[in-house]
């Protein structure tokens, strides 16, 4: 007697995952490029509105780096669960640096706001 079931290849039983770039990362990169361009534009302005422009640019840059730090923290957690230790360490370092830059941007914005 022959079975109506056929043996499946090994590759079809394992779940396939695409390793593409996530939309969240694309949005963060676009926000980072836009906010850095805005801060660079604010530095070149030579009129009384320069300080408010720099303040708002620093706040937006701080928000973007804070979001990047949270994104890296999530990636670190997921890499740790999957036992990808090197990736977890790299994401942890990048997230920590992003958090420090975010804190520096917020501190700079507070100083600029007080002047």
Summarize pLDDT for 6-57 with one digit per residue, the tens: 555 554 454 555 567 888 889 999 999 999 999 999 899 888 888 999 999 9
Compare 102 and 47 and report the one with higher pLDDT.
102
User: 51-70: per-residue pLDDT in tens?
Assistant: 999 999 999 999 999 999 99
Q: Is residue 20 included in any domain, yes or no?
A: no
Q: Tally the domains of the chain.
A: 1
For residue 38, give both structure tokens.
Answer: 């805005």
State which residues form the domain around 85.
Answer: 51-115
- How many Cβ atoms sit within 10 Å of the Cβ of residue 65? 25
Does residue 18 lie within any of the structural domains? no
Helices (H) and strands (E) in the chain, counts: 4, 0
């Amino acid at each position: 007697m022959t079975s109506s079931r056929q043996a499946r290849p090994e590759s079809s039983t394992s779940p396939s995952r695409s390793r593409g770039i996530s939309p969240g990362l694309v949005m963060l990169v676009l926000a980072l490029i836009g906010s850095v361009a805005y801060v660079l534009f604010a530095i070149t302005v030579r009129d009384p509105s320069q300080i408010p422009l720099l303040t708002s640019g620093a706040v937006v840059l701080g928000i973007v780096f804070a979001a990047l730090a949270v994104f890296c923290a999530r990636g670190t957690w997921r890499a740790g669960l999957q036992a990808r230790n090197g990736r977890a360490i790299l994401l942890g370092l990048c997230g920590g640096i992003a958090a420090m830059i975010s804190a520096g941007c917020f501190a700079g914005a507070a100083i600029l706001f007080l002047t």
